[in-house]
Structure 1
Amino acid sequence: MAVASPVFGQDGSTVSFSSAFGAGLVLIGAGLGIGKIGASAVESMARQPEVANNIQTAMIIAAALIEGATFFALAVCWFGYATA
């Protein structure tokens, strides 16, 4: 594998694959994270309806933070592809 690395790096296909693979992992992780937050929030609201507003606010803030990190990671993947 140490000998093959320079050969694969000559045409830039490794960078293209790495960027696409990284972007895919970012989107899968964000989808799973936001899905888990939504499921947990709905379950919590069903258990304690009196604090539903607080749970919903916390859920939206957490989802926004995950989305921000997702956009940042996608930008890193995209710029990595664009500069190669």
Structure 2
Amino acid sequence: MVAPAAAQDGGGIPKVLAAGLAVIGAGLGIGLIGKASVESVARQPEASNTIQIFMIITAALIEGLAFFVAIISR
């Protein structure tokens, strides 16, 4: 008897859940970064360039972690 592919490799549900949670966490994190940067620019408009640079770097690090988890969970 031939077993399904999901049963042969130990089940795909935990892997899919891990990838899904990583993507959800990354989305929430990037949303919070955007919120905080908008509030910071509203308080100190003269620092908008610095705030934007740090926001982009931090969002890229979070997105990279989400990609890493998605690739590892395959």
Where on the TM-score scale, by shorter chain, does this alignment land: which range? Answer: 0.7 to 0.9
Aligned to 1:44: 40
Gaps of 5+ in 2: 1-6
Q: CA RMSD in A?
A: 1.3
1:41 and 1:63 map into 2 onto residues whose CA distance is: 11
The percent of aligned pairs where both chains have the same amino acid is 51
- How many residues are aligned here? 68
1:61 and 1:43 map into 2 onto residues whose CA distance is: 18
- TM-score of the two chains, using structure 2 as the length reference: 0.86
1:27 and 1:12 map into 2 onto residues whose CA distance is: 26
Gaps of 5+ in 1: 1-10, 79-84
- TM-score of the two chains, using structure 1 as the length reference: 0.76
Displaced runs of 4 or more, over 4 A: none
Higher helix share: 1
